Structure 1
Amino acid sequence: MRAGPTRRLESQAGNSHLHGAVCHGSLHREVFMLRPRLVVVSLLVLALAACAGIETRTDYDPGSVDKLTGYRTYAWLPSPHTQNSQVYNPIVESRVRKAVEQELQSRGYQEVSQNPDFKIGWHGAVDQKLDVQTVDQYYGYAWDPWYSPFYLGPSVPETRVREYQEGTLILDFIDAASNKLVWRGTAQAELRESASASKRQERLNEAVHGMLKDFPPKPKK
């Protein structure tokens, strides 16, 4: 992405505006009004960087592709026994199951109580993360003398450190006949404590859809 042409256009408009300010004796006010605008843009960049999406990955046993393609029915494995109530609790489990069942049933899979083709297990984790962002006040690039005759001083980097929680959801598909893991999906995203119940369900639905959008995997030619 080339910034030169855009910056020249901005320079022309900015010089014209500042020229008018000189003529009307308001240069001092105009120059100092630029700094808050630049800071606001820097903060906006930080905010957009923080709004990361959901990262999904999948892995599977290449020798089990034919089995995966032939699956039609499934059943759930018992939930893991753990003391981590933040992840393993009835509310979270209900949301995970709802998201998975909604996605699978929309693809024609059916839940059964006996003799399923595959079984589903899930795991979750919450980790503390740090997000470090360093942004120059002047949109992240150096200030060129030709940009404006009114130089506002050097570009000062601004570093912000943000602590957040990252959630991980893992889905395992186990072949019922061999009791062998044949497919795994992983989703990771930032957790938002302020999110409503409906928004949390929506995010889980999005994560599960991202994992299962190419399921079953196609045989490699």
Structure 2
Amino acid sequence: MFRIFAIACLSFMAAACTVKPALDYNVDQDFSQFKDFAFVPMPEDAVATIDGQRIERELTAQLQAKGIPAVAVEEADMLVDYRVDIATELESYGGSFSVGVGRKHGAIGVSSPDRYKERKYGKLVVEFFDPATNALVWRSISQSQLRETMGPESRAEFINKQVALMLENYPPKAK
């Protein structure tokens, strides 16, 4: 019995650690009109990146699983665009807080960090456009960090998981 309880607790903790992507969409949009999709064409001088290929593969798989097939750009009801935005965060090292107590004295010491390190990471952004109006109708931004230090397998797993989370509630339910 304890084993089942422990597995259930670990499952709930793992689910709680999953960071949901940010989501925004046009509430007035009729998403049932989008029967198929195509990717926004890349500029002629652009190079298809390895992560870009992974993202396209997973987006295609997820949308086709929802019954939305890929077609040529000219025939598409919906255009799909994606990118990896670069974000940064500062990490500080060396700061401390301490408390000391002696016979007759007490002391508190605080020091500010003396070293900072800037970390860069990627945030996956997926956007859907209506080609008839050339308007953005749906956007999702991953809140998890695609790090440069990830290996090929972990990058592919990360992208697959994030795209699945991003499209989990697509199309939005009509109100």
The two structures share one fold, judged by TM-score above 0.5: yes
1:182 aligns with 2:128: no
Please name the residue that 1:60 is paired with.
25
Deviation at 1:62, TM superposition (A): 1.1
Change (3 A) 1:74 1:164: same
Q: Determine which structure has more spread, i.e. the larger CA radius of gyration.
A: 1
Counterpart mapping for 1:1-221 below 5 A? 54=19, 56-64=21-29, 66=30, 68-79=31-42, 89-113=48-72, 114-132=74-92, 162-220=117-175
Give the letter for the 2:54 counterpart.
R
CA distance in 2, matches of 1:173, 1:58: 12
Structure 1 unmatched runs, 5+: 1-51, 144-152
Query: Larger % of strand: which?
Result: 2
Q: Give the stretch that moved more between structures: 201-210 or 153-162.
A: 153-162
- The percent identity for this pair of structures is 27
TM-score, with length taken from structure 2? 0.69
The one-character-per-residue Cα deviations of 1:64-93 (angstroms, maximum 9, x if unpaired) are 0x2x1332210111125788xxxx643122
CA distance in 2, matches of 1:107, 1:77: 20
Deviation at 1:193, TM superposition (A): 2.8
Q: Is the 8 A contact 1:164 1:191 kept in 2?
A: no
CA distance in 2, matches of 1:165, 1:55: 20
Q: Is the 8 A contact 1:74 1:112 kept in 2?
A: yes
Query: Larger % of helix: which?
Result: 1
Give the letter for the 1:92 counterpart.
D
CA distance in 1, matches of 2:162, 2:150: 16
TM-score, with length taken from structure 1? 0.56
Q: Give the stretch that moved more between structures: 154-163 or 54-63.
A: 154-163
Q: Is the 8 A contact 1:165 1:190 kept in 2?
A: no
Change (3 A) 1:80 1:165: farther
The one-character-per-residue Cα deviations of 1:125-160 (angstroms, maximum 9, x if unpaired) are 2133213487879xxxx99xxxxxxxxx98987968
Cα root mean square deviation, aligned: 3.1
Q: Is the 8 A contact 1:118 1:174 kept in 2?
A: yes
Q: Is the 8 A contact 1:95 1:204 kept in 2?
A: yes
Give the letter for the 1:59 counterpart.
D
Deviation at 1:94, TM superposition (A): 0.6
The one-character-per-residue Cα deviations of 1:22-72 (angstroms, maximum 9, x if unpaired) are xxxxxxxxxxxxxxxxxxxxxxxxxxxxxx8655111111110x2x13322
